[in-house]
Amino acid sequence: MAVWDDVLSDRDRQIFAAAGWGRRAGFGKRPAVMIIDVNYNFCGDKREPILESIKRWHFSCGERAWDGIDAIRKILAVARRKRLPVFYTTNPRREDGFDLGVWTLKGTRSDEEVDVMGHKGNEIVAEVAPEQGDVFIEKRKPSAFFGTPLMSYLTNAGADSLILTGTTTSGCVRATAVDALSYDLRVTIPEEAVFDRGELSHKISLFDLHMKYVDVTDLAEVLRHLESLEAGLFDERYPPAARAASVIAR
């Protein structure tokens, strides 16, 4: 049962099936792992109900974020053993919000300091924190590709696909997934490893992404695929953690 089955109308189900949408594209041969905005702003600093968490972290996705973090930890464990490229994003802003532009107009609490540069809110949560050799991207808009060197980094590493995780499903994850498709990258999203503050937006965004743009699957299938990969696929083009220090020193 897909995560969106309980909110999808019979009419829409019939239309998408009749039109032939939703075929699986399949995994790529050289996947990079991407972790979108899993910072304290979007997760809070502990597992607690979302209505409690947003009192202090107004962007928080509450307890659903911590379920996602558990899934991401499992993906990272395999990815690091296989020495796959791991990319992180976060989105700090200037104190005056100029760099986010009209995005700041959509929230009544956008002038709070939690997402200002240097605030803990922008830090990736400790449970899935970057390690030496990982790549860190700062972005100012929803997509990890917009105005960043991400695509050039993926090209340089020789990646042909993404395992996409993080938050929010309907916002930055969706925007990144669509841009990845536009660059002809295959994208797989394990449903348990992405999260949103809205249940409906999470489910419908995944439905729409799966029908038209990427593959949405489950954590178990992604872990099986990663386990099947030969270790060291990227060793010649991307510095794994064991070699990062010597590469940086040169």
Residues designated as active site: 172
Q: Which residue has the tokens 């809205």?
A: 198
Is 154:186 a contact under the CB 8 Å cutoff? no
The long-range contacts involving 97-102, CB below 8 angstroms and separated by at least 24 positions, are 99/140, 100/140, 100/141, 101/140
Q: Is the dihedral of CA 90, 94, 96, 101 positive or negative?
A: negative
Burial code (b: 16+ CB inside 10 Å, e: under 16) for 154-184 equals beebebbbbbbbbbbbbbbbbbbbbbbbeee
HSE-CB at 45 with a 13 A cutoff on CA atoms is: 9
Instruction: Supply the angle between the helices 219-228 and 63-82 in degrees, to the nearest 10.
Output: 10
